Structure formats: structure tokens, C-alpha cells
Amino acid sequence: MIFSNNLDNLEQTIFDNCYNMLLSLFDETSKEKIISKLNKQSKNIFNSIKKIIKKENNIESNYLYLYELIKYLSIPDFDFVDLYNKGAKKLVYNGLVIEEKTKDKYNYYGETFNEIGLDLITNICLVKKYNNSNVNCIDDLIFNSNWLYQSLSNQFNTIIRLLVFAMNNEFNVSYSNLNKSIIDTKINLRTSKGYLYQTVPVNDFLYGLIYDGLHTEKQFDKYSSVGTYKLLCDKLDDLFNDVINNGKLIDNTIIKDEIIKIASMFNNKMYYLDHYNVITKETKKRFIHDFNIIFKQAIKEYKLEFTKEELLKINDNVNKSKQRLEN
């Protein structure tokens, strides 16, 4: 437990509750590492918390405390200089924010996914203590855009929910019934004959947010093409900045292109897992059905219309994969 003389009794009580809610997301084998990392960041955490003037133990204060804890937990604890000296071109700057080194400058992408991802994990913690008419469990956060605590960026929730579902690797148990960590548990995906296909986290997006943002990029590009994830981030980051920081309206054309990229990756992933008999056709059908629930929510929320050509574009990656496997 982290304790600070800078907090009064109520603040310490709120902090302790949030701290325990966050730790409950992780496996016992991971908690020691998580506690150590939070201890290293304790000064920054408490300095941030002292700026939050909330004198009530309510959902808002819990959200704000949790958000700060998760934000600092997602900061990598390695030396950037040493890694760049070893020839690295990309590094995890913070959570899902990637720092890319070019000849004369550094580029950053993934800020939108990181921001909304922090919101999502914060709400996953809150659902252990709070609920409302729309949200009673973790699965409700994936299938409902009305989260327990709505931040300024909630209008981007649905596109993140779509991506989080697409990067799920647990095909047999719902998140609400999961008896293992939703963030750091690794599972072995095997073919029907028992051969190992891949060892992956329960969810590539949530794992990447806390441990390794480059993992999320690699897994997305694995089922699309190299560079697609960065393109997805770049476009969404520009839109996010225009809407949140500059007060502009959401550009539905950009949202549509982003959704097409996510849906194409998901369809391709389902094709590969079916082709290698990692999932049954019944599981594939069920997951596509559930993905389409969120997809249709996105169409309604963002007032999108798709032409036949655009819908065919979503299956383009699958057709390319079939050709690669056949050749």
C-alpha cells in the first residue's frame, strides 16, 4: 500500500479504495511488479491527486484518482537513450502512445487510443463498485457507449469499443465471467489438433495499454498490413485534437475510414483463426454477430452510410489472405 503524508484522511481513504480496485485487475503473480512500479511513480501520482479538489467519496473522485494511477502505471520504466543507441526505431512513449524516430525528428501516434483506453480501464475498475441502468458488468462497457463516468472524450468511445472487441482473444468465456486477469493473462491459441498457433494476452488492446503499446500495433498489422495501425492512429489523433482541443465537429468521413480499417482487420483475423482451426465456425459466426452489434451502433451514432463498394472493401484483406494461403 502506498501512503502519503500529503493526503488528508478522506483523500487517503479514496486513494486506498482506488488502489485496491486497480490491483484487482491483475494476476497475483503480477501484483508485486505493479506495486513496485506504482511506488516508483508515487511522488508524481500524489502531486497529481493533490490538484484534484474533490472532497466527496463519489464516482467522480474515484474516477479521477483511478485515472491518475493507471496513467502513471502505463509509463514505461526503461531508458529511451539506451534503446535508441541499440538501433530502435520505435518505442513505447506512454501506454499506447508510440514514439517513432526519423532522421531529423520524433513522431508520436496513438494518443487517442491511449486516452480512451485509460478511460475504459478506469471504468472497468469502477464497475466493481458502481453500476447504472446501462452498465452492470465489464461486458456492458464493450457493448454500451454510456460508460459509468463520461469524460470529455466520450464521443470517441464507440470506435474504441469496436477496436477492443476486435482485439479480443478469449473466445470461450465472456469478460464478466472471466476468472483470470483481463489485462495480463496470456492464453495459448491452439488448432483443433492441439498445435500452438500463438500465445497472446486475453485482449491485445488492454495488454498493450499497460505493458507494451508496440504489441498492439504488431497484432493489428498482423491481420491487416504493416503500417495500417499507424495510419489508423494518425488520422484519429488529428481528428481527436480537432474535436477536443479545437472545438470542431467530428468528421464522419474520417470515422468511416477508421471503422473500415478496424472491420477489415477483424474479418481477416476471423478468417485466419478459422482457416487454421483455432476457432470453430460456430464461434466465428458468434463473434462476427457480436462485432456487428457494435458496428451497427457506430453507424447509428456517427450517422454513417456505406456503399456496396465500401462494404466490399472491408473484405478486401480477407480476399488477399485467401490468395496468400492458396499460393
The domain segmentation of the chain, as residue ranges, is 1-73, 75-326
Q: What is the dihedral of CA 13, 38, 216, 139, to 10 degrees?
A: -20
Q: What is the pLDDT of residue 3?
A: 60
Residues with Cβ < 8 Å from 220, sequence gap 6 or more?
Answer: 167, 204, 228, 229, 232, 265
Per-residue pLDDT, 62: 92
Q: What is the pLDDT of residue 150?
A: 79
DSSP-derived secondary structure for 285-321? HHHHHHHHHHHHHHHHHTT----HHHHHHHTHHHHHH
pLDDT at residue 114, rounded to an integer: 95
Contacts 24+ apart (CB under 8 A), 139-146: 139/174, 139/175, 139/176, 142/175, 142/294, 143/290, 143/293, 143/294, 145/297, 145/301
Helices (H) and strands (E) in the chain, counts: 15, 5
Residue-by-residue pLDDT tens, the chain, 327 positions: 566 667 778 888 888 999 999 999 999 889 988 999 898 888 888 888 877 766 688 899 999 999 999 999 998 876 555 556 666 788 888 899 998 887 778 889 999 999 999 999 999 999 989 988 889 999 999 998 889 987 878 889 999 999 999 999 999 889 988 888 999 999 999 998 899 999 999 999 999 999 999 999 999 999 998 999 999 999 999 999 999 989 999 999 999 999 999 999 999 999 999 999 999 999 999 999 999 999 999 999 999 988 888 777 776 655 555 555 554
DSSP state of 250: P
